[in-house]
Amino acid sequence: MLELPDTLPPGALCDAGADLLADALAGTGALWWAGESLSADATGAVADWTDRLAGHTARPTAPNTGRGVIGVAGDITGLHCRDGVHCGLVAEAVAPVAGIVTLAARYLPPHGTDARTIVTYNTGGAAKKSDGDNYLYLSEAEGLLTVKDDKGLVDLSLPAPAGAAPRLVMASLAGERLAVEVLGGVRAEAQARGPVLSGAASLFIGCRNQRPGLTKTLGGALIGDVWLWPGRALLLSEDAADRAALMAMRRFLLWAEEA
């Protein structure tokens, strides 16, 4: 065993990356559903997922009747979705005003099938959609990462990273502007045809809403981490606090890749 007399910085310690990120995001209004916070019931089904920064809890949707389970692959622990099966969770009313937001997810695509829906930011979400509802979702299918809304106001696609390595994808919406970035990779921006979201919003993980159908939108991703910044568009902002939060996410990615 090698022993050193020096005091090492926190970042040199194993498993310190998550704690450093939590410290960096504290006070930014961020929510972070980290994989190690998943809880299962006696049957092994996911019972809830509480974010480590503000205590918002995501719970199984109505169609998810014990289908979501905790999965592990390498250094990723997360919600293990199954292709064509509703395994989703929902964190209700996470944002009073939906029009400005950043969401991000770190996930592992399944082998041989598509990840499909990863996260959805929804101003409705009930089994029956109302006229004023809309949602913005992140999905991966057929080699493309797509962020778009349900009303066709904005649609942005970019190539997914090659291979089956984990991805960390971030999307920022500011009224009619949308930016998407694969951290450590490509980035794109788009202008919507009008304001995309209004009113309060909930966050769905691994699905789009409470509808029991839509099986073609449900893939087999292992979703390890989900972040949300209500009221902040990190990728479209020059604010110092927003830029610092974005830099913290990029540093976290480096630690995650080296773990």
Q: What are the residue ranges spanned by the domains of the chain?
A: 31-258
Residue 212 has pLDDT above 60, yes or no: yes
Q: Provide the 3-class DSSP secondary structure of residue 173.
A: strand
Going by pLDDT thresholds of 50, 70 and 90, the confidence category of residue 247 is very high
Per-residue pLDDT, 259: 62
**Half-sphere exposure of residue 133, counting CA atoms within 13 Å on the CB side?**
16
Tokens of 185: 């990779």
Burial of 79 per CB tally in 10 Å (0-12, 13-18, 19+): buried
CA 108 to chain centroid, in Å, comes to 12
Q: Provide the 3-class DSSP secondary structure of residue 137.
A: strand
Tokens of 33: 């559903």
Per-residue pLDDT, 54: 95
Q: What angle do CA 218, 219, 224 make, to 5 degrees?
A: 110
Residue 249 has pLDDT above 50, yes or no: yes
Q: Provide the 3-class DSSP secondary structure of residue 201.
A: strand
The class level of CATH for 31-258 reads: mainly beta
Per-residue pLDDT, 6: 41
Residue 2 has pLDDT above 60, yes or no: no
Per-residue DSSP letter, 194: S
Distance in angstroms (rounded) separating the CA atoms of residues 141 and 13: 36
Residue 8 has pLDDT above 70, yes or no: no
Per-residue pLDDT, 10: 40
8 A C-beta contact, residue 184 and residue 165: no
Helix axes 240-258, 16-25, angle to 10 degrees: 170
Per-residue pLDDT, 120: 98
The model's pLDDT over 163-175, given as tens digits with 9 standing for 90+, comes to 889 999 999 999 9
Q: Provide the 3-class DSSP secondary structure of residue 215.
A: helix
Q: Say what percent of the chain tops pLDDT 90.
A: 86
8 A C-beta contact, residue 140 and residue 118: yes
What pTM was estimated for this model as a whole? 0.93
Per-residue pLDDT, 163: 84
148-152: average pLDDT: 97
